[in-house]
Structure 1
């Protein structure tokens, strides 16, 4: 979806009273406009949920995002019992100063 359509959609959703938005996919972090879309939703006052497999958390525009996301590595590991790509990505986020615990 082109950037201007994302802007228009978020504004329309806000105007009709939507307070919560969930970014999902596929993989929402693949979207080149993800950080800007997240920022627009955040600045609009929306509550945001991101469903990700964590494979793109190494991207600097995600790790260095001004509204750092809270990734719960402990919950993920307890639920899956594995060291998957997601836990590796979340550990990488932790090493860059992003909160990875509840």
Structure 2
């Protein structure tokens, strides 16, 4: 429990998870703590290749156009879990 590096929500009831900034290289990958909704959203919007090549920092993830509307919404809610739909971009590239 803590603070999310993506949406920056925080609190003792906010579940957080480790997100590897360099997927598929977990032993050497830096990690950030993200809330469960943000972690789900990241993997629904970005392929591992995209995460590895272009979105390998919390700042890059926060600044990504694909995250803008989600971040505007999640920062106004206390939701600790969400349903996500994998984007067409991710489906096509998997």
Identify the structure with the greater strand proportion. 2
Identify the structure with the greater helix proportion. 1
Q: Name the TM-score, length of structure 2 as normaliser.
A: 0.25
Structure of higher CA gyration radius = 1
Higher relative contact order (CA 8 A, sep 6+): 2
